[in-house]
Structure 1
Amino acid sequence: MAKIKRRGESGAAKNYVTRNQALKKLQISLSDFRRLCILKGIYPREPLNKKRANKGSSAPASFYYHKDIQYLLHEPLLVKFREHKTFAKKLARALGRGEWALAKNLEDAKPVARLDHLVKERYPTFTLALQDLQDPLNLVHLFSTLPTNPIPGKTLVPSEIIAECSRLISEWKVWAIRTHSLRKVFLGIKGVYYECDVPGQGGEMVRVRWLEGYEFQQYVPTDVDFRILLTFLDLYRTLVSFVLFKLYTEENLVYPPPLDVELDEQGESVGAFRLVERKAGAEGADGTGQVSKKAVRKAIKGIKASGIDADVEMDEDAEVDEEKDEDEDFVERPSKAQEVEDVAPAPLTTYNSLLATSSTPSTSRQSLLFSPYTFYLSRETSSRTWEFVIRALGGKVVTSLTAPSPDNASNADSITHVIVDRPMTAESMREMEAGRKWVWIQPQWVADCVNRQKIISAEGYHPGQLLPPHLSPWDGEGDVYRPWLEDQEKAAIEAADEAAENDEAEQDALDESEDESGSESESESASYPPALLASARDPTNATLLHAAELEAETNGTSHTTFRTQLKAATKANASKVTAPAPAKGEEDLRRIMMSNKKSKLYEKMQYSNRLKAEEKEKLEAKREAIEKKKRKGLKV
């Protein structure tokens, strides 16, 4: 006998639960439920049939997977939320009764929820964490630039959170400077875009891109729910801290790096941090005198890369340790006491002195692009941006001509380039040089050199000059332009010229007996430049279009005129080419992608078209028969 299914015990009604049902099951408030879903990465789902999922009700509701809610029942944060709710009740009661000593004791014993287990749960490997690092860095950058008290008498974001975000960003930049991992810079409308190559597990390089807003007074809107943003920020701060601890440990450095208060008060941003090495003896040895596993792996890779046939003998225990190290998850963050015990008494040095001893294998001549130069940043330039970019590529920075700098380059004679972002006269520049030879440039020159991976000419970048187009180095990603590379431009123009020459040769080989309209269209097309003609014959080719735009810019043609000519040439070329009929295979694929209703409608349309075609053929046959009889003089 078949079992009778009851309503709501199978199908969509069992797989989905509404938000109200989830709140009753978890026994938490709506705000805590939202925070828990953000931290755990659970979001609403859209069932195929909402009425079935809601057990026959058509009322609007938000649905979640039943398994996700069951998964939340075992979350340790639920206990912390309930403890915090109890703490809030006791604190309110103590304040209402005026029991200040009890309120102080309660505040000291306030329950704090840690999110370390969530980071390990959502990012089981280090590479996965690096691949998802863009949003955390963007949000941490945003909060690091917020004002501490934008509205008098109302605190939207605590000042401690803003200070911690600023510290995390500075530590991230110090690591990028130490390893010379910065690869690309783009000055966009929203801010400055950076991209770094970060080593993941197994030597895999992960590209991390983030956005940093420009330095100006931030406008904080009052209609934004900062509680949701702060919930995301709690998770992202923990994730960034884990990533930085792992990266600093891989570089044999202590995390967090200590801050030099004197340099910080002098206005130094990333230069105020000091780097403390964890190794005390020879290179590759940690504080206990043992050789680190990272140094062993680097030595083995060096032997393999050199091509020497050498037998590297390792114990079984070492092999097991190496495999375990490659596949290990996030490293447990040690306590402060453990850090002090593990760190050998190494001298404190600034990151500038450790710059040349980077252990990152990606360090090359391109990553040390500005190593021979010393830059002076004028007061109107963003020192936070250009100090990071220049030092990340091996250069030295001077922010004052009189005060000493962390690079000990206070002498103005060592300056090679001066970055100025305002118009200047020749007299003022000669007065500042005082007989020295400096290269005066605008900030865009630095970004263009980084993106093109070479030192370009300073012509066109002098103060007050109209700068060349600053194009994005990322090709075809979002609303960005194509990369500005001379080799690709020349190759595209040569290909367009060659295609235009071939087309002209084919036109000369055609029969000369054409009508006047055809000859006029040919004369008009011949008047267009060759790259524009090539782009008109293949409108989908982005390379030919880019070459045509460069050709128009070289010829001094405005953008409106260029677009008009390209549209006319494309239209003239399309009128000569007839579109081929779709093949039978393509038609079958279209039929497969249709729904049942559309497929039946399509069959009816095809049937009526066939009937019309047959009727037309019959009428044409009758007309031909009548014409034949008329020509023969027969009576119709």
Structure 2
Amino acid sequence: MSLLKNFPSYRLERIVLERYGTFRDALSDLDDALNILFMVSNLTCTSVIDSDRVIHCRRLCREFQKYVTMTCALRKVFASIKGLYVQVEIDGVFPVFIIPYRPFQSVPRDVDQRVIKSFLEFYECLLSCVNRHLFHWKGYSYPPQYEESLEEKGFSVFDAFRLECKNNVSQLTVCGTEDSDFGVSDSAEGDKKVDHPNRLLEGMTFFLGREVPLDLFDFLIRSCGGNACWELPGTQFTDPKAITHYVYDRPNIPGDRRLDAEYVQPQWILDSINAGVLLPISLYLPGVSLPPHLSPFVNHENSIYRPHYQDFISEFKTSEVTAYTEKVIGQENTKKDKLDTTSQVASGDDGEEEEEEDKRQRALVPNDKLEPCNETQNRKLAKMMMRSKDRYRYERITRTQKKAMKTANRLLRRQEELMHSSD
């Protein structure tokens, strides 16, 4: 018992400040910290991770989300089976993290929770330092006051924070260390640089249905300058006339429809944020078949396969097209020609292409007058002159390119089949 009572206490703030010399260095390494903290904040307490640590992780994550909603720093979002991939911009750095859905699954038994706890201890200190720096940067004291009574009544967690202005903002303190922080010069440069806020949903009020994840979409809407509300038992949250959009994820809408409000599915918010423009609501009406939810983290500019909806969004921004069906019909012939081209490129390996070329030459020219193709011959000679290591790398590159072409060819064929079946 005496050993447990005299267990030494330690702090990791100095280690965090020594590892990250500047604030941008800490932001660049924030992805893993946010992933683990958001994962633990959605867990139940275990034998290794107690309930106090889970509550502390949840508090740190909400403080970070509160800063994102204040500055409208949201950039991209993608809904996957793992959770919600979110990209934010802070001081020119773009951290990407995952917010899991609720209810979250339990931790598997084959996972060593002690390893997670060792990383979690450091990441808690890192995010606490980052949150303190961000709130001081905006002129607020840290930690902000939080009223749990509002959360228990069903209100938004972001409305439960009470921010207090700091009297002396010039003297920043990070995790209780007054003599050092992430760097005064780095903070001074950050004050001059203002990130462009994302106010795509400014002036809009969204009513979220019961089937919509309230905490996730409340965060997304507020991060783009909008307001979110939902039904509270025995409480009138806001004036119904102030609601501009109703978000439902079911075909049957309860109650009477309002003619002066819009009704959309949740995917409209995600796709509009990624596109940077409000997409046509007619494609996202409750009960209709939704367009594909494209990942904003995949660049289709230089790829062989380019989805129809990506072309529609690009031209919709320039007001060249207004209906998605018109774009699909107009793209059918173009995609068919592109499919024929890619099928010729992606058919077979190197040996099969060379054999087919030789067969064509033998069919056109007699055997005694046959001359090998210059391109094939030059490629063979170049491969023979390569070192074994370079030849291995070249073959890996060609195999990767052919694999990508085959995948694009399969997607194009599937796309063409779907268009013919719809007709």
Query: Normalization by structure 2: what TM-score?
Result: 0.71
Counterpart amino acid of 1:239? L
Aligned to 1:187: 79
- In the alignment, structure 1 residue 448 sits paired with structure 2 residue 271: yes
SS of 1:455's equivalent in the other structure is: coil
Aligned to 1:237: 124
SS of 2:377's equivalent in the other structure is: coil
- In the alignment, structure 1 residue 334 sits paired with structure 2 residue 182: no
CA shift at 1:593, angstroms? Answer: 3.4
SS of 2:145's equivalent in the other structure is: coil
Which one of the candidate residues 152, 170, 174 is aligned to 2:62? 170
Aligned to 2:416: none
Which one of the candidate residues 105, 121, 125 is aligned to 2:22? 125
Aligned to 1:418: 246
CA deviations on 1:449-505 (whole Å, 9 max, x unpaired) are 10001111111212222211001001259xx997935365799xxxxxxxxxxxxxx
Q: Distance in 2 between matches of 1:376 and 1:442?
A: 11
Aligned to 2:35: 138
Aligned to 1:486: 312
Q: Is the 8 A contact 1:259 1:272 kept in 2?
A: yes
- In the alignment, structure 1 residue 581 sits paired with structure 2 residue 380: no
CA shift at 1:119, angstroms? Answer: 1.4
Q: Is the 8 A contact 1:143 1:165 kept in 2?
A: yes
Aligned to 2:219: 388
Which one of the candidate residues 201, 208, 221 is aligned to 1:377? 208
Q: Is the 8 A contact 2:75 2:274 kept in 1?
A: yes
Q: Is the 8 A contact 1:421 1:443 kept in 2?
A: yes
Q: Is the 8 A contact 2:243 2:261 kept in 1?
A: yes
Which one of the candidate residues 231, 235, 238 is aligned to 1:403? 235
Counterpart amino acid of 2:312? E
Q: Is the 8 A contact 2:48 2:117 kept in 1?
A: no
Q: Distance in 2 between matches of 1:360 and 1:412?
A: 39
Aligned to 1:270: 158
CA shift at 1:264, angstroms? Answer: 2.3
- In the alignment, structure 1 residue 213 sits paired with structure 2 residue 106: no
- In the alignment, structure 1 residue 157 sits paired with structure 2 residue 49: yes
Q: Is the 8 A contact 1:138 1:210 kept in 2?
A: yes
SS of 2:123's equivalent in the other structure is: helix
Q: Distance in 2 between matches of 1:276 and 1:490?
A: 43
Q: Is the 8 A contact 1:179 1:360 kept in 2?
A: no
SS of 1:276's equivalent in the other structure is: coil
Aligned to 1:43: none
- CA 1:243/1:533 → structure 2, altered by over 3 Å: closer, same or farther? same
CA deviations on 1:592-623 (whole Å, 9 max, x unpaired) are 7369xxxxxxxxxxxxxxxxxxxxxxxxxxxx
CA shift at 1:148, angstroms? Answer: 2.6
- CA 1:332/1:460 → structure 2, altered by over 3 Å: closer, same or farther? closer
Q: Is the 8 A contact 2:13 2:175 kept in 1?
A: no
Q: Distance in 2 between matches of 1:219 and 1:252?
A: 39
Aligned to 1:438: 261
Q: Distance in 1 between matches of 2:192 and 2:241?
A: 31
Q: Distance in 2 between matches of 1:404 and 1:235?
A: 43
CA deviations on 1:321-371 (whole Å, 9 max, x unpaired) are xxxxxxxxx9542379xxxxxxxxxxxxxxxxxxxxx9982345xx11111
Deviating more after overlay: 176-185 vs 582-591: 582-591
Q: Distance in 2 between matches of 1:488 and 1:567?
A: 31
CA shift at 1:533, angstroms? Answer: 2.9
Relative contact order, CA 8 A, sep 6+: which one is greater?
A: 2
CA deviations on 1:221-267 (whole Å, 9 max, x unpaired) are 22221111100101111111111111111111111111023212223
Unpaired segments ≥5 residues, structure 1: 1-87, 92-105, 150-154, 200-204, 280-285, 294-329, 337-357, 492-527, 542-565, 596-636
Q: Is the 8 A contact 1:413 1:436 kept in 2?
A: no
Aligned to 1:110: 7
- The count of residues paired between Structure 1 and Structure 2 equals 340
- In the alignment, structure 1 residue 148 sits paired with structure 2 residue 36: no
Q: Distance in 1 between matches of 2:337 and 2:153?
A: 60
Which one of the candidate residues 354, 357, 362 is aligned to 2:195? 362
Q: Is the 8 A contact 1:251 1:359 kept in 2?
A: no
Q: Distance in 1 between matches of 2:290 and 2:87?
A: 23
- CA 1:398/1:225 → structure 2, altered by over 3 Å: closer, same or farther? same
Which one of the candidate residues 335, 339, 357 is aligned to 1:531? 335
Q: Is the 8 A contact 1:441 1:462 kept in 2?
A: yes
Aligned to 1:472: 295
Q: Is the 8 A contact 2:128 2:175 kept in 1?
A: no
Q: Distance in 1 between matches of 2:271 and 2:223?
A: 15
Q: Distance in 2 between matches of 1:457 and 1:217?
A: 33
Counterpart amino acid of 2:335? A
SS of 2:94's equivalent in the other structure is: strand
- CA 1:535/1:416 → structure 2, altered by over 3 Å: closer, same or farther? same
TM-align CA RMSD: 3.6
Q: Distance in 1 between matches of 2:157 and 2:285?
A: 27
Identity of paired residues, percent? 29
SS of 2:96's equivalent in the other structure is: strand
Counterpart amino acid of 1:275? L
Aligned to 2:421: none
CA shift at 1:213, angstroms? Answer: 0.9
Q: Distance in 1 between matches of 2:269 and 2:162?
A: 26
- CA 1:424/1:119 → structure 2, altered by over 3 Å: closer, same or farther? same
CA shift at 1:275, angstroms? Answer: 1.5
Q: Is the 8 A contact 1:185 1:447 kept in 2?
A: yes
CA shift at 1:192, angstroms? Answer: 0.4
Q: Distance in 2 between matches of 1:128 and 1:534?
A: 44
- CA 1:266/1:135 → structure 2, altered by over 3 Å: closer, same or farther? same
